[in-house]
Amino acid sequence: MTTVSTAETQHGLGSRLAALAKIVELGQGRVDPALITEAAQLLLRAGDRLKLSSDHTVVALAGGTGSGKSSLFNAISGLELSPTGARRPTTARTHACVWGIDGASPLLDWLQIQWRHRFARASALDRGESQLHGLILLDLPDHDSIRALTDPEAHRLIQLADLVVWVLDPQKYADASVHRRYVAELTGHDAVTVFVLNQADRLTSEERAECAGDLEDLLRREGVAHPRVVTTSATTGEGVDGLKAVLAESVAARRAAYQRLEADLDRLVVRLVKNLPEMLRVEPAVDAARRAALVDALCDAIGVSALGEAMENVYGVRSISWVGWPYARWAARVRPDPIKSLRLGAVKDDIRGLVGSSITAQPAEVDNAVTALSDGLTAGMPEQWRDGVRQAARSRSGELPGALSAELSEVAPPLDRVPGWWWLLKIWQYLLVIMFAAGLAWAGAILAYGVFGAGRPPAEALGDVALLPWVGLMMISVLGLGLFSALASRNFVVLGAGRERDRLERDMRRRVDLLAQDMVIQPVERELNRYNEFFGAMAATRR
């Protein structure tokens, strides 16, 4: 049963640590750097510990000067391994006693226990203590000694131990330095923390019960929900067997290492959640409505509609020289020519310049469009991640106006291209001109030969006065037909100009859409996916 429980615990811890690694990877620049550093250190510590012996449980005896910690270490081991002193700290370096030395050396190396301070029980069955097989008992330097101020060994090993046993004495069990620096930091570590009220031989039974009860109350106020308090006397041996039983239970379960890492992880997750409140999953893709709004805003910023309108107007003016009634154009030559003032030969270059100037003149509108997109997508996200989406959206906004200018300068209106029907209509119009000129010549010939008798006509029809009304009617019909063709063609010109404007605006909008996708939407969607992955990793670290 224990093996199954340990396997399940290890599997669950592995999944949570993998999620924590994801948090470290994705949280750079979005989470408090101190928390990211602490998470990275926990991952390193967990990886090292889980690779080492799972058959050994590291138990650290920690305590202040005069608490009897070293004496208790010797009492548990049954040997005089660690020096003791009544008035001053005598444990300068950590001592280790190992029950079952096989496989323990790499773990002791990781703990940085010096070889001369390692001791092994001669046999796992020595003195009937087979239940302690797999125990590595550490006697740490006194945490409040002068040496401890410059040597962080005690603090380091308290962080690495699977189970911490705090040895307190009746006079200083409420020592603020212990509670403030260590006990408060181990909130939630109830399963891997034991408190020993040592030197119980100095107290009466009533005083012992009162001190133990007071210590339990103090620990609960410190956040230790279920404190385990054991009363011992290293001098008389009272309560030592009870402490050994607690240690044997932890050793036999083979779960202390996992429980310690889980407790460290639980505490870190609480701080992460506090740092990033109200995390909600968001849609990872920019929806069609927001995408269209961004493209609309960018098109407005670069003046797509204005350019389309200019294109439509130029198309209409240029058509006059092709589909207008020739007599009207010839009559207009006696007046100032508005067409020449438009410099139609350079109109393509003018429109290219219009595109470029519209973009470079409106960078603030481009920036506003990008900011509006990011703000609409980040509602409900923590501020750090909202800033991240804004930065992603604006990561290339400085390049965007120039990219739009370069892209859209290629969309020059095809003003050199003349629609086929313009050619046909122009041929038709000049055919009518020729017909009118022929009618005019015919009427002149009839007048000259038939009316004024200028001579003999080359053909009978040229002198037949009876044909004059019909020739006049033909000329009037040709003029009317030409005028009607010119008027009708204007409607087709308007339709054609509208189609050219629509084509130009569609092409420009398509190019704006592609640039928006590449330079704004893709970076934003990457950041949204990063946020959702972080959100999922945060959920996976909890249990």
The pLDDT of residue 84 is: 58
Structure confidence at residue 357 as a pLDDT band (50, 70, 90): very low
In one-letter notation, the amino acid at residue 29 is G
**CA–CA separation, 408 vs 515, rounded Å?**
11
Whole-number pLDDT of residue 97: 93
Would you state the pLDDT for residue 327?
62
- Highest mean predicted confidence (pLDDT) among 272-276, 421-425, 499-503: 272-276
The residue ranges of every structural domain in the chain are 57-238, 288-542
The per-residue pLDDT for 58 is 96
Q: How far apart are CA 290 and CA 287, in angstroms?
A: 6
**Can you tell me the distance from the alpha carbon of 60 to that of 58, in angstroms, rounded to the nearest whole number?**
7
Radius of gyration of the chain (CA): 47
- Per the confidence metrics, is the pTM higher than 0.75? no
What was the pLDDT predicted at 23?
94
Section 54-78 average pLDDT: 88
Q: By C-alpha distance, which of 121, 126, 148, 125 is closest to 136?
A: 121
More confident residue, 295 or 126: 295
The CA distance from 29 to 530, in Å, is: 12
**Residue 314 confidence (pLDDT) above 70:** no
pLDDT at residue 385 is higher than 60: yes
Question: Contact at 8 Å (CB) between 79 and 97?
Answer: yes
Average pLDDT of the chain is: 79
pLDDT band at residue 218 under the 50/70/90 scheme = confident
Residue range 223-241: mean pLDDT, rounded: 88
> Over 50: is that where the pLDDT of 354 sits?
no
For residue 50, name the pLDDT band (cuts at 50, 70, 90). Answer: very high
In this prediction, what percent of the chain has a pLDDT beyond 90? 22
Q: Which tens digit of pLDDT belongs to each residue from 429-452? A: 778 778 888 888 877 887 877 777
φ, ψ (nearest 5 deg) of residue 66: 85, 5
User: What is the mean predicted confidence (pLDDT) over 293-305?
Assistant: 81
SS3 letters across 251-313: HHHCCHHHHHHHHHHHHHHHHHHHHCCCCCCCCCCCCHHHHHHHHHHHHHHHCHHHHHHHHHH
Q: What is the mean pLDDT of residues 178-189?
A: 70
What mean pLDDT do residues 373-386 have? 83
Per-residue pLDDT band at 3 (split at 50, 70, 90): very low
CA distance 466 to 475: 16
pLDDT (average), residues 517-537: 91
Sign of CA dihedral 326, 331, 334, 338: negative
The b-or-e profile of 82-116 (16+ CB within 10 A means b, else e) is bebeeeebebeebbbbbbbbeebeebbebbebeee
CA distance 517 to 370: 12
Closest by CA to 67, choosing from 179, 212, 168, 194, is 168
pLDDT winner (highest mean) among 121-135, 172-186, 424-438: 424-438
Query: CA 100 to CA 254: how far, in whole Å?
Result: 14
37-41, 170-174, 400-404 — which one is most confidently predicted on average?
Answer: 37-41
pLDDT over 50 at 352, yes or no? no
Q: Is the dihedral of CA 124, 126, 128, 129 positive or negative?
A: negative
Question: Residue 342's pLDDT band (boundaries 50, 70, 90)?
Answer: very low
To 10 degrees, the CA torsion angle through 121, 123, 127, 130?
100
Cα-flanking dihedrals φ and ψ of residue 431, to 5°? -65, -40
Q: What confidence tier does 90 reach under pLDDT thresholds 50, 70, 90?
A: low
Q: Find tokens 């990793």 and name the residue.
A: 537
| Predicted pLDDT at 248 | 92
The mean pLDDT of 499-528, rounded to a whole number, is 86
Residue 519 is classified by DSSP as I
Average pLDDT rounded to a whole number, residues 132-156: 75
Q: Quick one: pLDDT at residue 349?
A: 53
| pLDDT one-digit tens code per residue, 252-280 | 888 899 999 999 999 999 888 888 766 77
At 340, list the tokens.
């020449």
Distance CA 233, CA 64 (A): 16
Which superfamily does 57-238 belong to? P-loop containing nucleotide triphosphate hydrolases (3.40.50.300)
